[in-house]
Amino acid sequence: MKKIIPSNGAGLEILIDDEDYPVLSRLSWQLDKDGFAYNQTLLPSPNKYHVHARVLITRFLIQQCGAMMVRHKDGNKLNNCKDNLILQHRSYFSQAKRKYSTHRGVPCTSKYKGVHKHRRKWVSVISRFKVVYQLGSFYDEVEAALAYDKKARELYGELAYQNFARRKNAKEI
């Protein structure tokens, strides 16, 4: 594993495989506002002007097409070793995001993803490919969050966003 230091990284390092180092080290890498490594490239154009394009380091490492996108297994955007990258459908990306604190400017009723308050109960909901799964209503907010976690693992696998760290027994909370 080799390291590349981005020009605007402020001490951060991009991790890559040894076999990719000779090619990637010759390019100038920067970090965008979201923490992804990219290279500013001039692309040829049929007219006299050249087009500036940002090319993510993951595009150099894994070929992407259509709705498929590259995701970091460990969540570290600077770890670009091939064994840490996985090609997934873009629908998985929205599921992998954390819970937002507001929805359309209004504070959320729950601190857990997939959980909201409806009258006196907590409702758990998840969706995949435009299919909405109503997981039930619960008197306890934590129970609703656990129901969300269980269904998220079922629908999205090991890389699903979890409200709670993985536990052998869900009753440990």
* Two structure tokens written together for 126: 């998840």
Q: Which domains does the chain have, with CATH numbers?
A: 2-89 (3.90.75), 97-172 (3.30.730.10)
Q: What is the pLDDT of residue 122?
A: 93
Would you say residue 115 has pLDDT above 80?
yes
Q: How many helices (H) and strands (E) does the chain have?
A: 4, 12
Element at 142 (helix H, strand E): helix 141-156
* Two structure tokens written together for 50: 């050249």
Element at 128 (helix H, strand E): strand 121-128
CA–CA separation, 143 and 18 (whole Å): 46
CA–CA separation, 41 and 108 (whole Å): 41
Say what the pTM is. Answer: 0.58
Instruction: State the pLDDT confidence band at 139, using cuts at 50, 70 and 90.
Output: very high
Average pLDDT over residues 80-93: 79
CA–CA separation, 166 and 173 (whole Å): 11
Would you say residue 26 has pLDDT above 50?
yes
Would you say residue 128 has pLDDT above 70?
yes
CA–CA separation, 88 and 64 (whole Å): 9
Would you say residue 147 has pLDDT above 80?
yes
